[in-house]
Amino acid sequence: MDIMTLLGILSAICTIVGFFTSKLFKSNYWIVGAVVGILTFVSGYAVYYNSEYNRIKNIHRQAIVVEKHYQEYGGYKEFIQASLVFLEENQETYPDTYERAKKIYADSKNQNELLDKASADEMHAIIQVIADVNDE
């Protein structure tokens, strides 16, 4: 559900509640103010929750795309680079994981093909865990 649909639904609910409370509490404006305040708080929470949910879904989709290309990249260093790009984009969410990935990349520099595969396997495990953790 996108944010405009959510705001439309919340607006309709607020309108209906406002219609009924205006008839019941004509002289008690503090009750109407309390209802409006509660509805505003609930609406803000719903919008925040929806945006967080969409962000998590987006991270999950990105992790699956990077993970899917584990065997398709031209080499292990290319996969490590793609993983670093993904983790750098989501560095605010996974700061320790990004630092660990940078260390794996630094360790994989100037290594032979066998050690490159080990580094790529480590990076693949990190991406796979992120994809699994953020599963819907």
Average pLDDT over residues 41-67: 84
Task: State residue 104's pLDDT score.
Answer: 82
Least confident of 39-48, 58-67, 71-80: 71-80
Of 107 and 83, which is predicted with more confidence?
83
Distance CA 18, CA 12 (A): 10
Print the domain residue range for 50: 3-133
Is pTM beyond 0.85? Reply is: no
Dihedral sign for Cα atoms in the order 60, 62, 68, 70: negative
Task: State residue 74's pLDDT score.
Answer: 61
What's the pLDDT band for 122 if we cut at 50, 70, 90? confident
Average pLDDT over residues 49-77: 81
Average pLDDT over the chain reads 79
Q: Which residue has the tokens 């670093």?
A: 84
**Domains contained in the chain, number:** 1
